[in-house]
Chains A and B, each alone.
Chain A
Amino acid sequence: MSGLAQQVSTHSIVRRYYGVWLVYSLAGGFLGGVYPLFLRSRGLNQ
Chain B
Amino acid sequence: MIAETIDPIGTTFCNGAVDAWGVNALDEAGFEGTTHGLFSRISQLSSLGFMATALMGAYVGGVDIAWPWLLGAAGFLLSALAGTLLHERSRDAAGQGHRAMRAAVHAKIGSGLRQGFGIRSIRLLSLAEAITLGVMAPYWLQWPLLFKDGYGTGVWVVGWVFCVLGLGKMLGAEAAARILTLTSARPRLLSGLTIGTGLTLLGAGFLAGRPNQALVLLFLMNAFQGAREPLALAWFNEEVAADARATMLSFRGMVATAGGAIGLLLGGYVTDLWGIPFAWKVAGALCFLTVPCYLALNRRSKFTSAV
Is B48 within 8 A of A32, CB to CB?
no
Q: Which of A17, A19, A36 has the most CB of B within 10 A?
A: A17
Q: Mark A1-23, 1 if CB is under 8 A from B, else 0.
A: 10000100110011011111111
| A30-B54, A30-B75 as given contacts; A37 in contact with B155, CB under 8 Å | yes
Is B61 within 8 A of A34, CB to CB?
yes
Is B30 within 8 A of A32, CB to CB?
no
Is A29 within 8 A of B54, CB to CB?
yes
Is A32 within 8 A of B82, CB to CB?
no
Q: Which of B108-159 contact A (CB under 8 A)?
A: 141-142, 144-145, 148, 155, 158-159
Q: How far is the CA of A26 from the CA of B254 in the complex (A)?
A: 23
Is B42 within 8 A of A41, CB to CB?
no
Q: Which of A29-44 contact B (CB under 8 A)?
A: 29-41
Residues in chain B near residue A25, CB distance under 8 A: 45-50, 53
Asked whether any CB of chain A lies closer than 8 Å to the CB of B52, the reply is yes
Q: How far is the CA of A37 from the CA of B142 in the complex (A)?
A: 9
Is B158 within 8 A of A37, CB to CB?
yes
Q: How far is the CA of A13 from the CA of B22 in the complex (A)?
A: 7
Count CB-based A-B contacts (< 8 Å).
148
Q: How far is the CA of A6 from the CA of B30 in the complex (A)?
A: 7
Q: How far is the CA of A38 from the CA of B144 in the complex (A)?
A: 11
User: Contact check: which of A16, A23, A33, A34 meets B79 at CB < 8 Å?
Assistant: A23
Count residues on chain B whose CB falls below 8 Å from chain A CBs.
53
Is A27 within 8 A of B29, CB to CB?
no
| A30-B56, A32-B53, A32-B54 as given contacts; A16 in contact with B144, CB under 8 Å | no
Residues in chain B near residue A34, CB distance under 8 A: 57-58, 61, 65, 68, 144, 155, 158
Q: How far is the CA of A46 from the CA of B272 in the complex (A)?
A: 6
Q: In the assembled complex, how far is the CB of residue A25 from the closest CB belonging to chain B, in whole angstroms?
A: 3
Residues in chain A near residue B52, CB distance under 8 A: 26, 29
Q: Mark B262-276, 1 if CB is under 8 A from A, else 0.
A: 000000100010000
Which of B's residues lie within 8 Å of A, judged by CB?
Answer: 14, 18, 21-22, 25-26, 29-31, 38, 41-42, 45-54, 56-58, 60-61, 65-66, 68-69, 71-72, 74-76, 78-79, 82-83, 86, 141-142, 144-145, 148, 155, 158-159, 161-162, 268, 272
